[in-house]
A and B are shown apart, each in its own frame.
Chain A
Amino acid sequence: MNFDFSDDQKQLRDQARKFLAEKCSPKAVRVVLDGKAPYDKDLWKGLAEMGFLGVAIPEEFGGAGAGHLELCVIAEEMGRANAPVPFSSTVYLAAEALLIAGSEAQKKKWLPAIASGEAIGTLALFEGKGNPAPKNVKLTAANGVLNGIKKPVADGAIADFAVVAARNGSSGRDSDISLFLVDLKAGGVEIKSLTNLDPTRGQAEITFKDAKAEPLGAAGEGWSILTQVLDRAAVLCAFEQVGGSDRALEMGRDYALDRIAFGRQIGSFQAIKHMLADMYVSATLARSNSYYGAWALSTNAAELPEAAAAARISATQAFQHCAKNNIQVHGGMGFTWEFDCHMYYRRANAMALGLGSLSYWEDQLIDRMRKKNAA
């Protein structure tokens, strides 16, 4: 058994960590946080040059063709660094949708552009409140054009194209839903930035008015493709969340060692030690569940749907738990804008919602476990 990353993959992790430590300091993240830029363009360019954007994109489409385990490794580091770039929307959602369902021509057009950093992509799924469900897709597709409103769309204001979930039937079945590719720079698209919980990754409202769209995948298979995309993204996001959990835990640990109160390092008080131990426990459980997800993703195993949901829940809980308690360990200082704790707190809570809420994934997990037991 080798339920671990390989030495080469660990080397890639070191390389990514070093790169991000240099190019993505908390100071750099704050430029985006403070609204001075919509995302870190230099970092994005650097990530492309390092080959990180196309790490799981096949070589024939301009990527490195390394695979999804390598992408998991990079994702973890992106989470650690709290990188203010549209990585998850472009790489996990848009690129994965293209890889699963794109035609040869669509892949040729968009995947090399993603790998080289020229194109930012996203997934336009949500329409206001509610979790991923066919009935919540109201935007319509007819005669090659889309009409309706999507919000929130992650990184929608900076994206060049979107994978859009649209309704082209009213049978009440999943087959009413199809996916479309829309060039957001073309006509019929209005984009409005939305203020949001985590300004280091933007959200937008996109209005489609007779916007030209080309089908992505077969008509009526939108929901099935989307489910696969969300499962893959759940695993990849879990690695970002694991990276974020570890970083929040480290910040808390370091502060507990530095800070003196009542004549002692506060890390010598059991109340603080035990809080940090519990953070370690949840981060470790999340990491282990995510490894299982990574294995299922990289081997395209039948276990992927269940493994993805478990990784998603576990990593969401861990990141929220670690980010929250990191602030608690820091006391009043943790609550200030000046300290970095709130950046991870924001990211943890924003990420908890991005692919549908925790209760949605809990529901998915139990359904999938029941199916497996029945099989």
Chain B
Amino acid sequence: MNFDDTPQEAEFRAIARAWIGANAPKQYEEDLRKSSLGRTVLKNANILEVAKAWQKKKADAGWACLHWPKEYGGRGSSPIERVIWSQEEGPFGQLSRMFIIGHGMCGPTMMAFAREEHKRTYLPPLASGEKVWCQLFSEPAGGSDVAGLRTRAEKDGDDWVINGQKIWTSGAHYSDYGILLTRTDPTVPKHKGLTMFFLDMKSPGVEVRPIKQASGASDFNEVYFTNVRIPDHQRLGEVGDGWNVSLTTLMNERSAIGAAVSTGFHELFEYCSSLMLDDGPAIEDRAVRSKLANWAVKASGLKYTSMRAISALSKGERPGPENSIGKLVAGSMIQDVATYALDLQGASGVVSGEDAELAGRFQAMLLRAPGTRVEGGTDEIMRNIIAERVLGLPGDIRVDKDVPFNKIPTKGR
């Protein structure tokens, strides 16, 4: 049992570290380091522009999308090298968040299902951050139940005509392309009538409306499609096989191993070390210590769970469903941590803005945290995944499984 790199890993780490040391946009390091869930603020800079510039620089030197094949703009690295890179990239890795959907989900789906000429055309600029992609799956009628979606695609000559609405689409407002899951046959059971495409987000008939979130920020959008035309050669997979295609996308979502999971603990520990309560420093209060200790072991438990996963990767094993626990644990923890940090301030915890530097940080966390527990699968879906795929318990009963889609009830009452 050790934390040492193999000689090859050590060599790779040294090269990566040297390149990052020489090239990273260090002027933003402090801001990125201080960012926490719900708040990444670059002083006097547009984060999208900074992110694009860093991504392009990485791509030109062969450090973009490490695990992708070289011909599509990647480096052909092993999964463990990707983890080492993300450890070395540290706070600068925050900038890649702008591309996480494109790199983590759209790219792999394109690689698995697009025509060769499309892969060569579209993937390199996606890898280099010049073009941003989004993923158009969720709908008002289909969040966790993705296969319940209603956006229609109807064949018209060599094109498909799209009508409908998507929601919760991260980054759609600055995306150039998207992958889109549609219903092409409503007369068969829901999983069987779906088809996947990719499209230009600037196509006529695409309208993006940002959603103002509970936090006040707008990271997600509603996307409306009115008679949008997509040529058939932009179809991904067979007609009616969209569910299988989307599973490839969703499986790739579970890949963020190695990047430190944000739990809020580090921020809380720092805060309690400096905060004075009526009876003295917060960290000397027995009740505070007990709370901190409970969160400390969750944070370290996640950290070492991730180290175990990295060890498995290092031996060439594939990440499994057990890695679902990171988001499940961190999501509610960060919410509790933020609540507690504000509680320690008493009534003044309610004040935000520049007069309340510390509270402001935890307020941003508090208001963003509910989203973490929902996006990419709710806590409940994560628990189902663990129960079914790790523990082998029976799947949920799905009464609509064999019913033609257009016969499924649409209202509860």
Cβ of A284 within 8 Å of any chain B Cβ, yes or no, is: yes
B386:A281 contact, CB within 8 angstroms: yes
The verdict on B8 contacting chain A, using a C-beta distance below 8 Å, is: no
State how many angstroms separate the Cβ of B302 from the closest Cβ of chain A. Answer: 7
In contact, B297 and A373 (Cβ under 8 angstroms): no
A274 pairs with B296, CB closer than 8 A: no
CB pair B1–A363 under 8 Å, yes or no, is: no
Q: Is A314 an interface residue (CB 8 A)?
A: yes
**Bound complex: CA A294 to CA B307 (Å):** 14
Contact A2 B314 (CB under 8 A): yes
Kindly provide the distance from the CB of B289 to the nearest chain A CB, expressed in whole angstroms.
4
Q: Which B residues are in CB contact (< 8 Å) with A6?
A: 1
Interface bits B286-306 vs A (CB < 8 Å: 1, else 0): 100110111011101111110
Q: State A289–B301 Cα separation when bound (angstroms).
A: 5
Beta-carbon contact of A268 and B383 below 8 Å: no
Q: A3-B307, A5-B1 are known contacts. Are A268 and B292 too (CB-CB below 8 A)?
A: no
Question: Is the CB of A4 closer than 8 A to any CB of chain B?
Answer: yes
Across the interface, A3 reaches (CB within 8 A) one of B5, B286, B308, B392, namely B308
Which of B1, B9, B390 has the largest number of chain A CB atoms within 10 A?
Answer: B1
CB contacts (< 8 Å) of B395 on chain A: these are 268
Residues on A with beta carbons closer than 8 Å to the beta carbon of B391: 249, 253, 273, 276-277, 280
Chain A residue, CB-CB nearest to B293: A362
CB distance from A322 to the nearest CB of B (A): 12
Q: Is B311 an interface residue, CB under 8 A from the partner?
A: yes
Q: Is B310 an interface residue (CB 8 A)?
A: yes
* Candidate in A1, A278, A317, A361 with the most chain B CB atoms within 10 angstroms: A1
| A2-B2, A280-B391 known; A288+B307 contact, CB < 8 A | yes
In A279-335, the 8 Å CB interface with B consists of 280-281, 284-286, 288-289, 291-292, 294-295, 298, 309-310, 313-314, 317
In the complex, the answer to whether A281 meets B325 with C-beta atoms within 8 Å is yes
Does B387 belong to the interface (CB within 8 Å)?
yes
- Stretch in A25-33, A87-95, A124-132, A364-372 with 4+ CB within 8 Å of B: A364-372
Given that A285-B298, A288-B301, A313-B297 are known contacts, is A366 also in contact with B1, CB under 8 Å in the complex? no
Once the chains bind, are B311 and A2 in contact (CB under 8 Å)?
yes
B394–A265 CB distance below 8 A: yes
A contact residues around B325 at 8 Å (CB) = 280-281, 284-285
Contact: B301 with A1, CB < 8 Å? no
> Quick check: is B227 within 8 A (CB to CB) of the other chain?
no
Is residue A153 within 8 Å, beta carbon to beta carbon, of the partner chain? Answer: no
Q: For the complex, give the distance between the alpha carbons of A189 and B155 in Å.
A: 93
Residue of B nearest to A362 (CB): B293
Chain B residues lying within 8 Å of A273, measured Cβ to Cβ, are 383-384, 387-388, 391, 393
Residues of A within 8 A of B383 (CB): 270, 273-274, 277-278
B2 touches A314 (CB 8 A): no
Q: B21-60 toward A: CB 8 Å interface, digit per residue (1/0)?
A: 0000000000000000000000000000000000000000
| Nearest A-chain residue to B289, judged by Cβ | A366
* B283→A253 contact, CB < 8 A: no
B273 at the interface (CB under 8 A from A): yes
Q: How far is the CB of A227 from chain B (nearest CB, A)?
A: 18
With A281-B386, A292-B304, A369-B269 as given contacts, are A313 and B311 in contact (CB-CB < 8 Å)?
no
Q: Type the 1/0 row for A1-41, where 1 means its CB is closer than 8 Å to any CB of B.
A: 11111100000000000000000000000000000000000
B396 interfacial by beta-carbon distance below 8 Å: yes
The answer to whether B308 touches A291, judged by C-beta atoms less than 8 angstroms apart, is yes
A343 CB within 8 Å of chain B? no
B329→A257 contact, CB < 8 A: no
Verify B296–A310 contact, CB threshold 8 A: yes
- Interface residue ranges of B304-329 to A (CB < 8 Å): 304-305, 307-308, 310-312, 314-315, 322, 325, 328-329
| In-complex Cβ contact of B393 among A69, A256, A369 (8 A) | A256
Distance, CA A265 to CA B390, complexed state (A):
17
Q: Are A280 and B1 in contact (CB under 8 A)?
A: no
Given the contacts A1-B311, A366-B283, A281 and B329 also touching, CB distance less than 8 Å: yes
Q: Does B238 contact A (CB under 8 A)?
A: no
A288 touches B305 (CB 8 A): yes
CB atoms of B305 and A362 under 8 A apart = no
B296 lies within 8 A of A2 (CB): no
Cβ-closest chain B residue relative to A273: B387
Could you tell me if A291 and B5 are in contact, using CB atoms closer than 8 angstroms? no
Closest CB of chain A to B390's CB: distance in Å? 6
> Are A370 and B283 in touch, CB under 8 angstroms?
yes
Tell me if B3 and A289 are in contact (CB < 8 A): no
Q: Flag whether A156 is at the interface (Cβ < 8 A).
A: no
Asked whether, in the complex, the Cβ of B310 is within 8 Å of the Cβ of A1, the reply is: yes
Q: Contacts A314-B297, A373-B273: A285 and B302 contacting too (C-beta < 8 A)?
A: yes
- Given A280-B390, A284-B325, A291 and B289 contact (CB-CB distance below 8 Å): no
Q: Which B residues are closer than 8 A to A by beta carbons?
A: 1-5, 9, 269, 273, 283, 286, 289-290, 292-294, 296-298, 300-305, 307-308, 310-312, 314-315, 322, 325, 328-329, 380, 382-384, 386-388, 390-397
Q: Which A residues lie at the B interface, using CB under 8 A? A: 1-6, 69, 249, 253, 256-257, 264-265, 267-268, 270, 272-274, 276-278, 280-281, 284-286, 288-289, 291-292, 294-295, 298, 309-310, 313-314, 317, 359, 361-363, 365-366, 369-370, 373
Given contact pairs A4-B308, A291-B308, A298-B1, a sample of 18 additional A-B residue pairs in the complex whose CB atoms are under 8 Å apart: A1-B3, A264-B394, A270-B380, A270-B396, A278-B383, A281-B325, A288-B307, A289-B297, A289-B304, A291-B1, A310-B296, A310-B297, A313-B293, A314-B297, A359-B286, A362-B290, A363-B293, A373-B273
Task: List 26 A-B residue pairs with CB atoms under 8 Å apart, sorted by A's residue number.
Answer: A3-B308, A249-B391, A257-B393, A272-B393, A273-B383, A273-B384, A273-B388, A280-B386, A281-B328, A284-B322, A285-B298, A285-B305, A288-B303, A289-B297, A292-B304, A298-B1, A313-B293, A314-B297, A317-B297, A359-B290, A362-B294, A363-B293, A366-B292, A366-B296, A369-B296, A373-B273
Closest 8 CB pairs of A and B: A285-B301, A362-B293, A273-B387, A288-B304, A268-B394, A277-B383, A277-B386, A314-B297
